[in-house]
Amino acid sequence: ELKVEQNPLFLSMQEGKNYTIYCNYSTTSDRLYWYRQDPGKSLESLFVLLSNGAVKQEGRLMASLDTKARLSTLHITAAVHDLSATYFCAVENDKIIFGKGTRLHILP
């Protein structure tokens, strides 16, 4: 059974700092997704990673995928308050399984 683990589950950081969220999964996967969720809102798609070594960047966020290590990372560069949200990774093989989410709080 596919399991997806994110860490940390909660992260409080200062503006301007860099940090990385990790997503480990237990079996081989077709695709890996990163989503953002603001409080009381739905999920917004950030990245879709399809192959080993895939790297995608959008603004201050960069996601990468290592299928051999079954690991994806979401790196935040020079964090700003607007990036405060909960970030989910999700892994697909037969169905899509979500991690528990990382609640990111960026202090001004």
Partner 1 sequence: KAGVTQTPRYLIKTRGQQVTLSCSPISGHRSVSWYQQTPGQGLQFLFEYFSETQRNKGNFPGRFSGRQFSNSRSEMNVSTLELGDSALYLCASSHSGYEQYFGPGTRLTVT
Q: Which residues bind partner 1 (CB under 8 A)?
A: 33, 35, 41-45, 48, 88, 90, 94-101
SS (H, E, C) 5-67: EEECCEEEEECCCCEEEEEEECCCCCEEEEEEECCCCCEEEEEEECCCCCEEEECCEEEEEEC
- Considering the complex, what minimum distance in angstroms separates the CB of residue 97 from partner 1? 7
User: Two tokens at 85?
Assistant: 């949200």
Toward partner 1, which CB reaches closer, 41 or 105? 41
Q: How far is it, in rounded angstroms, from Cα 45 to Cα 17?
A: 23
- Considering the complex, what minimum distance in angstroms separates the CB of residue 91 from partner 1? 11
- Considering the complex, what minimum distance in angstroms separates the CB of residue 32 from partner 1? 12
Toward partner 1, which CB reaches closer, 37 or 77? 37
Toward partner 1, which CB reaches closer, 17 or 100? 100
